[in-house]
Amino acid sequence: MHTVVMTKGVPDFREGQVSFDEEGHLERGKTPTVMNPNDKHALRAAFQTKVRNGGHVSLMSMGPPGYKEVLQEGMRDVYADDLYLLSDREMGAADTWATAMTVATGLQKLADQPDLVFAGFKTADGETGHTGPQTCWCLDWPIITHVLSLDIDEDAGTVRAKRLVDGDISEIETVEAPMPCFIVADPEFEPTYRRASHRLKHKDLREETQERAEEYEESLTVWDHEDLNLDPDYIGLDGSPTIVSGVDPIPKAPSEREATMIEADDSEALEPVLDELTPYAAGD
Amino acid sequence: MTDSYEEYEAVVVGCGPGGAAAAATLARNGVETLVLERGVDAGSKNVSGGLIYAEESAPYTIDGLFPDFREEATERPVSENIIHNIAGENVKSFDIGDLHHHDTAWADSVLRRKMDSWLAQQVHERTRETGGGLLTEVHVTGLLRERGEIVGVTTEELAPIKADIVVAADGVNSELARDAGLMDWEEPEEWFQGVKAVVDMEPEIINDRFDVAPDDGAAHLFSGDLFDGVRGGGFLYTNESSLSIGTVFHLDSIAEERAEPHELLDSLLTHPLMAQWLGDEYDEREYSAKLVPDSKKAAHPSPHKDRLVLVGDAAGQMQAQGPIIKGMNHAVTAGALAAEAFADARARGDPSQAGELYEKKLHDEGVMDKLRPTGYKVFGRLGEVGPVDDLSNAIADSAVGRFGVRAASELLERAYSSPRMVSMIPDTKLPYVTLPTVIAEELGEPVTDENTVSPPDLADRIGDLTYDVGDPHIELLDKSFEASGTAVTACPVSAKDFGGGCYRDEMVQTNGSQEHLVSLDTQPCVECGTCAIVADTEWEHPAGGKGVEFNEG
Ligand SMILES: Cc1cc2nc3c(=O)[nH]c(=O)nc-3n(C[C@H](O)[C@H](O)[C@H](O)COP(=O)(O)OP(=O)(O)OC[C@H]3O[C@@H](n4cnc5c(N)ncnc54)[C@H](O)[C@@H]3O)c2cc1C
Ligand SMILES: Cc1cc2nc3c(=O)[nH]c(=O)nc-3n(C[C@H](O)[C@H](O)[C@H](O)COP(=O)(O)OP(=O)(O)OC[C@H]3O[C@@H](n4cnc5c(N)ncnc54)[C@H](O)[C@@H]3O)c2cc1C
Ligand code: SF4
């Protein structure tokens, strides 16, 4: 089994990490870049296949050289056997389409062809959710999106998945697909380990990957557009059909609103509240 | 995926000292061993006083099994042990060094989170080499049976697991011992309740206030009239950069007196005698509590059934040697003996004999005699008979008794220090309250230091604890005050007229009549086990990684 997880670096939007300038623009220089949180769910899903079925987990990203540390983060916090960074100036400023083209080419260049490729649901900054499915389109594989749990039948060469329908938790369907197959892990993906032997192996592999992450550059391969034999006209800014014409800031909700505090056991003070609510109770 | 069985040669449930010793010994014998621990970390659910003893006469000690133990997992070696008899402000202190050092290779103070986590790491490395290993956050829910016979365990998180031997080292509230029908939760007389505060203190200040070298420590024990007549006593042990201060009382006494355990602890913390050690700044790191079995009554004489063996607190193997508490060391010995028994039985080609062999080893190695001493059976029990008890109390408190106490000061100090004498102590007010009080009144000097400590109230103590609240794990079967009311006071995180604890009582109007009822909210529960005995409850225990999490222990 060879599984590959696609990931992107995003600004760390957590309190205390992210910083905005006076006009509300993100200050990229002052905000650390971290692994897209949804991609960690995807990586956990891939790790589960390794624990249960064995094999090899690779982590791949297209982005600037600084993404090396994003890859390291994934290796340390979840798991990876090796890391791939697709990076050079020609790839810069790619939209989802050009990103997909580049990543798909990277996947095809792997010596050991993957059985499963995972993407996250969407990124914390771009949020389109296009990159995964577009990469799959380039590969011409079956795709299962919104995946909650996975079981692999290696003998039959199939993957069976539970997935959310319309993103509604109450509707879950089970589907099966032949491998190789593309998986988009839902943020609700829950790895399950019901066997002691799997949990023990999980523990071993977690220790191993943390050690490897300290010397991550030894497991890192960097490919530029020439390695991938990609025409600069089809990647990066030149290969991006999307035109961002402008960005409208979303107005902030007023932080101070008028409020009157009323003690719950003060029945007199509660009367006006009842008066206000009564018309709604009648269905008006 | 279907829940098909998994099989290991041995399953050890719990990674306290008993489980760690069993697992290490199984691994050393090449037995494929799986260790299941419910805490997020071994030690996160555990509390002890904690002085761990290594007895010279014991066939196994913790440092024998884990050579770096003292270096890596303990706080300070403790070489001094003093008991303080208290009556009001009068205090008479006896040096019980002889008892402390009797049969003792060494004794170190410990904090359980640190100690057990270290042990667990060692255990995992060793058992992993056998094809097993240690898993945390797994709650073992009961015994797996086939045709009525125990063949393994069931868990909340994993598929059922079969094994040739199941070592229940799951502590005082052992679910496995109860599932097997070997232990119960019936008689308050068989248990103590321990409550403890860990108090922050700089190492240099400790060295200075206790007059000890940086690599040395002290133990102080307390008894007398400061606990409102509740039978039991207090302790103070020095750690590296904290103090462990606590109380251990007979549960039946706590129940009878409707005592509030946290208030008894506060009585100790605020006594003038403590001022010299606590100073003006009191910073409590953690409040904790747990039941403690009294081996004299609770130690199971035959702690095994089918493929199941019980070790440590799960089997009631916790010895109160007079004022000295020895649970961890016996858990270690028993764990290792159980493992040795399995290895022997397996070598003889009949692993099913492990239980019988374990029982035999407990007797042959003298462990059973320490846990259930003959002297106590003969004299101690006699002293507990009502009229004898009343008479002894009256004599000790009379002019004759008081004269005797004055005349025999030195003799008394020696008696307190005699392992044989203290093993015969009856569970009555005489040794715990009356005698220490008379000693202090007749021989003691007043201590008038001003104690400025104001311990945190219960709400703050609860608020400082870490909980990962799961589903409610205790169900109150009988809500009447008669059946379950004792829990309102005896629960260490509940109190009368306190709404933020587990148990509270309330008057409920029903059809004109008034009912005195008890209600339960398990959110702030520290899983001590007290209410399983003093109230009518049904227990489920929290899932792996859920419930209270102690950082010190
Ligand atoms: C003209 C233009 C200029 C742009 N300039 C920049 C720029 O300078 N800097 C910048 O950061 N962004 C830039 N972007 C945005 C960038 O193209 C998108 O963020 C990127 O294509 C991914 O889309 P997304 O964030 O919506 O990811 P989604 O489609 O929401 O991501 C879904 C999943 O796809 C995978 N994935 C996404 N991106 C990558 C990747 N790069 N490598 C591997 N896997 C991936 C992950 O698994 C992710 O969870 C630009 C876009 C345009 C149109
Ligand atoms: C306040 C107090 C003071 C004490 N002072 C001392 C002292 O000074 N010296 C001394 O030697 N002893 C002392 N003791 C007693 C001592 O703590 C115990 O005797 C000792 O911890 C017993 O060890 P054990 O291994 O049997 O059980 P424990 O240490 O209780 O370990 C049991 C383990 O099993 C785990 N477990 C329980 N149930 C399950 C389950 N269902 N599934 C999975 N895991 C489970 C627990 O999380 C825990 O890790 C004191 C006790 C208290 C409460
Ligand atoms: S509810 Fe019961 S088990 Fe929990 S702390 Fe109170 S007495 Fe102990």
> Does residue B436 have a cis bond before it (omega within 30 degrees)?
no
Rg, Å, chain B Cα set: 23
CATH (domain of A124): 3.40.50.620
* Cβ of residue A195 closer than 8 Å to a chain B Cβ: yes
**Average pLDDT estimate for B209-217:** 97
Name the one residue in this structure whose structure tokens are 């890596």.
Answer: B72
* Containing structural domain, residue A40: 2-234
* Cβ of residue B34 closer than 8 Å to a chain A Cβ: yes
pLDDT for A168 equals: 58
Which of A200, A203, A204 has the most B C-beta neighbours within 10 Å, making it the best mutation to test the interface with B? A200
B257 shares its domain with B172: no
CATH (domain of B473): 3.30.70
Contact B37, B75 (CB under 8 A): no
pLDDT in tens, B91-141: 999 999 999 999 999 999 999 999 999 999 999 999 999 999 999 999 999
* Containing structural domain, residue B518: 467-539
CA distance B362 to B334: 7
* Cβ of residue A203 closer than 8 Å to a chain B Cβ: yes
Q: Provide the sign of the torsion angle of the four alpha carbons A165, A168, A171, A176, taken in this order.
A: positive
Instruction: Tell if the CB–CB gap between B6 and A197 is shorter than 8 Å.
Output: yes
Contact B169, B16 (CB under 8 A): yes
Q: Which of A151, A195, A203 sits opposite B158 (nearest CB)?
A: A195
- Look at residues B420, B455, B490 and tell me which one is the last residue of a structural domain: B455
Question: Between β-strands B503-510 and A168-178, what pairing exists: parallel, antiparallel or unpaired?
Answer: unpaired
CA distance B204 to A270: 60
* Cβ of residue B133 closer than 8 Å to a chain A Cβ: yes
Residues of B in contact with A204 (CB under 8 A): 128
What is the distance between the terminal CA atoms of chain A, rounded to a whole angstrom?
Answer: 61
CA distance A71 to A183: 19
The verdict on residue A21 lying in a domain is yes
Please give all residues whose beta carbon lies within 6 A of any atom in ligand 1, as ranges: A 6-8, 36, 38-39, 42, 61-63, 93-96, 99, 103, 119-120, 122-123, 125-132, 240, 242, 244
* Cβ of residue A208 closer than 8 Å to a chain B Cβ: no
What is the distance between the terminal CA atoms of chain B, rounded to a whole angstrom?
Answer: 38
Q: How many domains does chain A have?
A: 1
* Cβ of residue A227 closer than 8 Å to a chain B Cβ: no
Q: From the CB of residue B208, how many other CB atoms can be counted at a distance below 10 Å?
A: 10
pLDDT in tens, B470-508: 899 999 999 999 999 999 999 999 999 999 999 999 999
CB B528 near ligand 3, within 6 Å: yes
CA distance A127 to B129: 46
A173: distance to nearest CA of chain B, Å? 16
Structure tokens at A278: 């009564």
Amino acid at B351: P
- Look at residues B337, B371, B405 and tell me which one is the last residue of a structural domain: B371
pLDDT for B2 equals: 47
The verdict on residue B515 lying in a domain is yes
The pLDDT of residue A284 is above 70: no
Contact A75, A213 (CB under 8 A): yes
B151: distance to nearest CA of chain A, Å? 17
CA distance B56 to B102: 9
pLDDT for B3 equals: 59
The verdict on residue A58 lying in a domain is yes
The pLDDT of residue B1 is above 60: no
DSSP B508-541: EEETTEEEEEEEE--TT----SHHHHHS-EEE--
The verdict on residue A35 lying in a domain is yes
Strand (E) or helix (H) holding A277:
helix A267-281
The verdict on residue B387 lying in a domain is yes
Contact A183, A118 (CB under 8 A): yes
pLDDT for A278 equals: 85
Q: How many domains does chain B have?
A: 3
Q: Which of A195, A203, A204 sits opposite B159 (nearest CB)?
A: A195
Name the residue in chain A with its Cα closest to that of B4.
A195
The verdict on residue A257 lying in a domain is no
Residue B254's contacts (CB-CB under 8 Å, 6 or more residues apart) are: B193, B230, B261, B489, B490
Backbone angles phi, psi at B9, to 5 degrees: -70, -45
B263 pLDDT band, cuts 50/70/90, is very high
Instruction: Tell if the CB–CB gap between A195 and B157 is shorter than 8 Å.
Output: no
CA distance A36 to B166: 44
Instruction: Tell if the CB–CB gap between A194 and B1 is shorter than 8 Å.
Output: yes
Burial status of residue A211 (CB atoms within 10 A of its CB: 0-12, 13-18, 19 or more) = exposed
CA distance B24 to B196: 29
Residues of B in contact with A195 (CB under 8 A): 6, 158-159
For residue A117, give Cα distances in angstroms to A1, A6, B128: 11, 8, 32
DSSP B370-437: HHS-HHIIIIIHHHHSHHHHHHHHHHHHSHHHHHHHHHTHHHHHHHHT-HHHHHT--SSHIIIIIHHH
> Ligand 1 pocket: which of A4, A39, A59, A99 to mutate (most atoms <8 Å of CB)?
A99
Q: Which ranges of B53-130 does DSSP label H, i.e. alpha helix?
A: 62-65, 69-73, 97-101, 112-128
DSSP 8-state symbol, A227 = T
Say how many Å lie between the CA of residue A132 and the centre of ligand 1: 10
Say how many Å lie between the CA of residue A228 and the centre of ligand 2: 60
Instruction: Tell if the CB–CB gap between A203 and B133 is shorter than 8 Å.
Output: yes
For residue A114, give Cα distances in angstroms to A141, B79, B87: 11, 64, 79
**Average pLDDT estimate for A45-59:** 97
Q: Which of A151, A199, A204 sits opposite B1 (nearest CB)?
A: A151
- Look at residues B428, B455, B482 and tell me which one is the last residue of a structural domain: B455
B507 shares its domain with B433: no
Q: From the CB of residue B216, how many other CB atoms can be counted at a distance below 10 Å?
A: 15
Size of interface A-B (CB pairs under 8 A): 29
CA distance B120 to B70: 15
Say how many Å lie between the CA of residue A238 and the centre of ligand 2: 67
The pLDDT of residue A166 is above 80: no
The verdict on residue B311 lying in a domain is yes
The verdict on residue A281 lying in a domain is no
Residue A36's contacts (CB-CB under 8 Å, 6 or more residues apart) are: A7, A8, A9, A10, A120, A123, A124
B328 shares its domain with B394: no
Q: What is the pTM of this model?
A: 0.91
> Ligand 1 pocket: which of A59, A131, A223 to mutate (most atoms <8 Å of CB)?
A131
B236 shares its domain with B378: yes
The verdict on residue B494 lying in a domain is yes
Burial status of residue B513 (CB atoms within 10 A of its CB: 0-12, 13-18, 19 or more) = exposed
A266 pLDDT band, cuts 50/70/90, is confident
CA distance B384 to B393: 11
Structure tokens at B74: 């303990």
Instruction: Tell if the CB–CB gap between A200 and B133 is shorter than 8 Å.
Output: yes
The verdict on residue A253 lying in a domain is no
The verdict on residue A245 lying in a domain is no
Question: Which residues are paired to A33 by β-bridges?
Answer: A11
A251: distance to nearest CA of chain B, Å? 38
pLDDT in tens, B45-101: 999 999 999 999 999 999 999 999 999 999 999 999 999 999 999 999 999 999 999
> Ligand 2 pocket: which of B313, B321, B324, B473 to mutate (most atoms <8 Å of CB)?
B313
Residues of A in contact with B159 (CB under 8 A): 194-195
Residues of B in contact with A199 (CB under 8 A): 135, 138, 158
CA triplet B475, B523, A15: central angle to 5 degrees? 150
The verdict on residue B547 lying in a domain is no
The verdict on residue A261 lying in a domain is no
Residues of B in contact with A197 (CB under 8 A): 6
Looking at the CA of B474, name the nearest ligand: 3
Contact A224, A88 (CB under 8 A): yes
CA distance B548 to B465: 7
Which residue has the CA at smallest separation from atom 2 of ligand 3? B531
Q: Work out the percent of chain A whose per-residue pLDDT is above 90.
A: 75
Among A197, A180, A208, smallest CA distance to A3 is for A180
B37 shares its domain with B135: yes
Question: Which residues are paired to B202 by β-bridges?
Answer: none
CA distance B96 to B233: 15
pLDDT in tens, B318-375: 999 888 999 999 999 999 999 999 999 999 999 999 999 999 999 999 999 999 998 7
Contact B167, B10 (CB under 8 A): yes
The pLDDT of residue B410 is above 90: no
The verdict on residue B546 lying in a domain is no
Looking at the CA of B123, name the nearest ligand: 2
Please tell me which residue, A282 or B420, carries the higher pLDDT value: B420
Among A93, A95, A283, A118, smallest CA distance to A189 is for A118
Which of B1, B8, B138, B140 has the most A C-beta neighbours within 10 Å, making it the best mutation to test the interface with A? B1
Instruction: Tell if the CB–CB gap between A196 and B135 is shorter than 8 Å.
Output: yes
* Cβ of residue B3 closer than 8 Å to a chain A Cβ: yes
